[in-house]
Structure formats: structure tokens, C-alpha cells
Amino acid sequence: MTTATAPQTETEAKPVLSELSLGFSPCPNDTFIFNALVHGLVPSPGLGFTPRLEDVETLNRLVLAGALDVSKISYHLLGHVLEDYLLLRSGGALGRGCGPLLVARTQLDPARLKDRPIALPGEYTTAALLLRLFDPSLENLVYLPFEKIMPAVADGSVAAGVIIHESRFTYQGLGLTKLVDLGQWWEESTGQPIPLGGIVARRSLGREVLLALEEALTASVRHAFANPGAARGYIRAHSQEMSDAVCDAHISLYVNDFSVNLGAEGETAVRVLLERAAQAGIMKPGSRPLFIS
């Protein structure tokens, strides 16, 4: 692992006051967003970072265990960790037209999937939450790493699967067909954009560190937008099996103005997701503030 700290002037060294473990995925949208932060291309006074790149469900589990200071997580998990973590307003994936897809080998009514195995990319993923909200009767759920879901559907190991990330762009090449766009279903049923993943930080870091962290993360996203080629090497180092076209499509789909700042619309969407999940009995209603006050 590497440690990246804020740039130092020739005349004044900036002491690192907080060395933070930082989790995010190797997916192009995350490496695009975090490149400037972990490589010292934007100011992060007093903050140092030890990056840990893992798939999103591994990150979910690490945060659930309290093993990371700052991390990308699925919004599904957020409702389970609010006692110890709060949500940062920058760096996440939230938008329209970017939700998970339920796919199968042949076109069929999703109601026919009851009691048949359906693959999901992790228990705490937003994909899993959306499927459970879409149809609570679908209970034969099989959890697989996201990259193994399409092959499992294609070879008949499972009847259907919910796909995320770059699989949205490649599932048809395996002969699979879309049954439901869960993001579209969410948007039509709630009127809200779909919250997929956000960045959380330990409440115990304290307000000063949390505010500095949020500011540095916002600067990293803005740097990525202003210098889209700067992260290319970092992105490609972690996405070697993807073409440049798929990487660019991935970033375009999941990184947007909400990634800079959730804003009122994004905050509302997150609250609605958590409320729907609590109403469905999937998680307990939260009592702690979502954001830095």
C-alpha cells in the first residue's frame, strides 16, 4: 500500500495530523474520483491516506467491522453503520439511468423467478436492497462476486442475476437479456435519483478532520473533472480487462454533479432510500445525523 499526503512547499513541511485508512473500489469511477486525493494533487492539510482498493462488498464488510476510517460503501449499508459513521457529501455515485439490472438467459416475467436462485453482488449492496424492495417474494438469493454473476446466469447456475458496474455495458455479449432496470423502477416509483454508493467517515475523527476531509474530497472530484486525462494511468492500472471505451462509459455513467456535492436533491434521495428500507423491515430507522453538522 502507498501513503499519499498533501503537497509540501519547499520552505514549509506540512505535518500529517491524521493518517487515515481510505477504502474505495478499483472501478474506473472510484479511481477517477480518488486519484488526485491519494496522489497529493489537491490540498489535504494535515491528512494522510493509506488507500485500500477492494470490491464494494468487501468494503461494506470492512466498514461493518469498523476496520476503515473512510470508505466508499453501498448506500444499503449506510443504514447499518450510522452509529459509528456519517456520510460525506462528495465522492459518491448517485444519479439517473445508472441503476442495477436484473438479467436472465431468456425474457420472462420476473414473478416466475419466485423460489428460483437469483445471484446478487453482495448482501449489503444497493443492488440487493433494490431487488428486495422491488419484490420481497424473491427470497432464494445467492451472493457472488459481481464479476461472477453474468457467467453464473449464462451457464444456468442461477435463474437470474442482478448486475452492476461495467456489466451494464457487456451483458448482451454473453447472450443475456434485461428483465428489469431496477434503477428505472426506483426512479419511476419514487421520483428520486438512485443512490448507489457513498463515502463514509468515522464520527470519532472529529468535526475539524471531517470538514477537512470533505473539502479535500470535493477538491479531488473537481480536479478529476477539470483534468480528465490526469487519472488515466491510475484508472488503467486497476481496470486492465476493460477497454478505454468501457472505462470512459463507466465514468460517464457514475460520476456526475452529485459526485461533487449531493445537494438537496441527492440528500433527499438518500433519506428516501433509507426510509423505504426501514419501512420494509430491512434495517432499523436511523436516529443519528447523516452528515457533518
Q: Is residue 76 annotated as a catalytic residue, yes or no?
A: no
Q: How far apart are CA 282 and CA 116, in angstroms?
A: 21
Q: How far apart are CA 121 and CA 119, in angstroms?
A: 7
DSSP H/E element including 258? helix 257-260
73 is an annotated ligand-binding site residue? yes
Options 39, 76, 80, 165, the catalytic residue = 165
114 is an annotated ligand-binding site residue? no
Q: How far apart are CA 180 and CA 163, in angstroms?
A: 11
Burial label, 64 (beta-carbon count in 10 A; 0-12, 13-18, 19+):
middle
Neighbouring CB atoms inside 10 A of 142's CB total 14
127 is an annotated ligand-binding site residue? yes
Please report the DSSP string for 72-120 in residue order: EEEHHHHHHHTTTEEE-SSS-EEESS---EEEESS---GGGGTTS-EEE
Residues assigned a catalytic role: 165
Binding-site annotation: residue ranges: 72-74, 126-127
**Residues of each annotated binding site for substrate:** 72-74, 126-127
